[in-house]
Amino acid sequence: MHKTTSPVLGSAANWADGSVGAGIPRYNAYVGTQGEFTALTGSGNFGLYTGPAPASGEDKVIIDVQLQCSTSTMAPSYYMLLDYLGHYGLIDCDSTDQQDQTSTGLTRYTDGAGVQIMPVCTVPQTATATCTVSYTNQAGTSGRTATFFVNAANIGTINCAANATAGAGQRTPFVPLADNDGGVRSIEAVTFNASAGGFLSLVLVKPLLQTIMRESPTISEKTPYRHNAMLPKVQPGACLNYIYTSGQSAVSSVVRGHVTFAWG
Amino acid sequence: MGWSSHDDFITEVTTNGKFWRNDWNKITGAAAYTAGRWYDMSALAGTPIANAWPGTALTYVACDESTGNGTQIFGLRHGGNVSTDTKHVLNVAAVTGVATGVPSVLMLVDMCGYWNGISLNSAVAQTLSGTPSLRYTNGVGVRAYMLPYSGTVGATAHNVNISYTDQDGNTGNTLPVTVACTASAITPHITHSGTAANNYGPFLPLANGDYGIRNVASVTMSASSVGTSPLAALVLARPILTLPLTTVSVGAERDLMNQLPSLPKIPDGACLTWLLFSGAAVAASTNFYGSVDFGWG
């Protein structure tokens, strides 16, 4: 992986979507049709390349990750590797009408267990608003609702706060789900209570692994099995990329690294 | 039950898919915390949702993974019941991006249940009802703590004592020392924890030789706090693990197999939540984020 730019957080402790950055993997523009779910599948330079598909009956896992940043304003930071399953793009943050969404179904983690909603700013928000998302949970129950809060945000930042009074630096990467639901299968509608400006993409993601980058330019390495007693499984077609939070605010850095996969 | 070898572990969590990852997030409330005190994060907004302490006053409310307290499912999901397999924590991680969020310590506990509606304005024994059906045999390792959740705690000094049944079934045990609650304590401060004289935390000290609680018969305050309808909950919980956060934005991780070989067991139905020790004056609306990985076999 070699990202030449990364979204500016705007404030320390915000979260940002590393897929919205130039380099390898290539920039994710969240292309899609408004009001529809667009599935994301890793292929070529879109998402981290995970290698060839394993033979039938074999599983692919992550056995090693490495990260490094080139500027001091990027560290310390906390990275999470996610499988980006798809997104609902062009969510209009100026509209207070209910924005219905249609879905074709997840192609990975099809029951939605462990799948989270990640609101990514694609056109900057300029004000604060409450957003209510209606979704189907991992048990197949539709009409579940979750509420989060958006603030002024830059492109590529994850604009989600769990608290009405939370401002910049007090955000969370995922929408807090209703009554501790265990995941999301699809989103049915999105409604804002006020105009916040700009557009969001609501991305359905499956968290796989976290990595800590303590300082620049020291390389951070992890062997999940030895360091976390786990072997994160990677499903066929996985579209992998990173999100991060940092103690610094003005971060746009070259971030490089690798992920090693094994299967059997 | 459990794993007999590393090969067995790898097969179970990969091929057999016996693995669950929980990503959680909690944000503190509108009031800053005080350094040296413990706080119950189950009452905070975020993921999971906040515990609002419902129930009939002074009657035990059992808590579990699937139903929470019967109204709010506030515990961390950990993959459901797995018996006859046994489930264990593989690793934990957490981070905060707010400077006053560190240094701090997170403690993962299994909240077995609670009694709510305990008045902090009462100076007479308040009889508790209901018999806890504990997930831990005879209450071994189960501890108690108390926190206000409603009303305003008054500024008058007040101590707490309880009468409880220990792990051997002996009734009428009381706290071995004077335990002072905090005047004007806020939600969700574990009111008897802090840096003042006679503060103990996060758990109430047990009588000589005791190492668990099966049941609590009554709670007695030494005096009224003279607050505005202050109500507290007495919680029974079993500590699972701790995770120190030392530096802002530098994630903390613990591997419970290789780094700290312990693989804490998580019984079916465990209602997992975090307690927070604030090493600094944690600012209002401070975000904590983390993950817990579970495996079973």
Q: A110-162: per-residue pLDDT in tens?
A: 999 999 999 999 999 999 999 999 999 999 999 999 999 998 888 999 999 87
B271, closest residue in chain A (CA to CA): A180
CA atoms of B232 and B148, how far apart (whole Å): 4
User: Is B286 part of the contact surface with chain A (CB cutoff 8 Å)?
Assistant: yes
pLDDT on residue B88: 97
Q: Say whether B249 and A78 touch across the interface (CB within 8 A).
A: yes
Using a CB-CB distance cutoff of 8 angstroms, which residues of chain A are in contact with residue B49? Answer: 176, 178-180
Amino acid symbol at A153: A
**Contact between chains at B97 and A14 (C-beta distance less than 8 A):** yes
- Is any Cβ of chain B less than 8 angstroms from the Cβ of A147? no
The model carries a pTM of: 0.91
Task: Say if B75 is an interface residue toward chain A (CB within 8 Å).
Answer: yes
A162-180 confidence digits (pLDDT tens): 766 666 557 889 999 998 6
- Whether B93 and A245 lie within 8 Å, measured CB to CB: no
Nearest-angstrom CA–CA distance, A141 and B239: 33
- B-proximal residues of A, 69-88, CB under 8 Å: 76-78
B272 touches chain A (CB under 8 A): no
Rounded CA-CA distance A258/A60 in Å is 16
Q: Which amino acid is at B195?
A: T
- Shortest Cα distance from B138 to chain A (angstroms)? 29
The per-residue pLDDT string of chain B (297 residues; one tens digit each, 9 = 90 and over) reads 889 999 999 999 999 999 999 999 999 988 999 999 999 999 998 899 999 999 999 999 999 999 999 999 999 999 999 999 999 999 999 999 888 999 999 999 999 999 999 999 999 999 999 999 889 989 999 999 999 999 999 999 999 999 999 999 999 999 999 999 999 899 999 999 999 999 999 999 999 999 999 999 999 999 999 999 999 999 999 999 999 999 999 999 999 999 998 999 999 999 999 999 999 999 998 989 999 999 999
Helix or strand (DSSP H, E) at A100: strand A99-100
Residue B30 is predicted with a pLDDT of 87
Residue A38: what pLDDT? Answer: 96
pLDDT score of A165: 64
B contacts of A176 (beta carbons < 8 Å): 25, 45-47, 49
Note the pLDDT tens digit of each residue in A201-214.
999 999 999 999 99
CB atoms inside a 10 Å sphere around CB B152: 16
Q: How far apart are the first and last CA of chain A?
A: 24
Contact by Cβ (8 Å): B294, B79: yes
Q: Chain A: residue nearest B286 by CA?
A: A170
According to DSSP, the β-strands at A60-69 and A220-222 are antiparallel
Total length of chain A: 264
Q: How far is A151 from chain B (nearest CA, A)?
A: 14
Contact B205, B177 (CB under 8 A): yes
The kind and range of the H/E element at A123 are: strand A116-123
pLDDT at residue A168 in the model: 54
Q: Is B258 exposed, middle or buried (0-12, 13-18, 19+ CB in 10 A)?
A: middle
Can you tell me which residue has the tokens 């062997």?
A: A223
Residue A70 pLDDT > 90: no
Structure tokens belonging to residue B151: 């009303």
Helix (H, G, I), strand (E, B) or coil at A138: coil
pLDDT tens track for B14-25: 999 999 999 999
Give the SS3 label for residue B237. Answer: strand
- In chain A, residues with a C-beta closer than 8 Å to the C-beta of B72 are 179-180
* CB contacts, 8 Å: B75 with chain A: 180
Q: What is the rounded CA–CA span in Å between residue B190 and residue A134?
A: 35
CB-CB contact of A155 with A7 (8 Å): yes
Chain B residues touching residue A228 (CB < 8 angstroms): 90-91, 93, 253, 255, 293
Q: Tokens 């300029």 identify what position?
A: A126
Confirm if A162 and A148 have CB atoms less than 8 A apart: yes
CB contact under 8 A, A245 and B255: no
B36 closest CA partner among B193, B185, B247, B178:
B193
Structure tokens at A83: 């499988």
Query: How many CA atoms within 13 Å lie on the side-chain side of B187?
Result: 19
Q: What residues form DSSP beta bridges with A222?
A: A65
The Cα–Cα gap between A156 and A8 comes to 8
Q: What is the ipTM of this complex?
A: 0.84
Q: Dihedrals φ, ψ of B170, to 5°?
A: -75, 125
For the stretch A5-43, pLDDT in tens is 888 887 878 899 999 988 989 999 999 999 999 999 998
B23 within 8 A of B296, measured Cβ to Cβ: no
B96 touches chain A (CB under 8 A): yes
| pLDDT band at residue A252 under the 50/70/90 scheme | confident
Rounded-to-10 torsion of CA B95, B100, B102, B103: -170
A165 CB near a chain B CB, below 8 Å? Answer: yes
Per-residue model confidence (pLDDT) at position A250: 64
Q: Contact A179/B247, CB-based, under 8 Å?
A: no
A99-100 and A184-192: which strand pairing?
Answer: antiparallel
Contact with chain A for residue B83, Cβ under 8 A: no
